[in-house]
Structure 1
């Protein structure tokens, strides 16, 4: 049972690291899959003042699609709600 738990935690950590790397590439304007400069933000949802934003990106060249939960910079107290 402990081996399964350790394996699951390791896989999850690897998954989060890979998502972070993909978001970093997207923030530079490139698709993580085909490396073209054709990635676009197709949806942006907010979880409220203190919740994360869900950003969905899609590549117009290869069809890559992924969503990321990104912490908002500021909350209700900062005047940045919306």
Structure 2
């Protein structure tokens, strides 16, 4: 089995991972990719991780400069309100 690139929120959801967002200020949250994907698809929004990283807003500092990756495990108890 070879390496499979993960470029979109759908890629994360299909593999059973969670979305991990880390702001430049150090604030980190994990959220359910299925819930975010549903909201984004209703709006016709771009679901590429590179797009999400530039458009999600940090609840701590207000920046729009995240690193969007995937991780295993459940969402944080106080997860980001997944609204892009």
- Taking structure 1 as the reference length, the TM-score comes to 0.26
More strand per residue: 1 or 2? Answer: 1
Which protein, 1 or 2, shows the higher relative CO under an 8 Å CA cutoff with sep ≥ 6? Answer: 2
In our comparison, the structure showing a higher alpha carbon Rg is: 1
- Taking structure 2 as the reference length, the TM-score comes to 0.26
More helix per residue: 1 or 2? Answer: 1
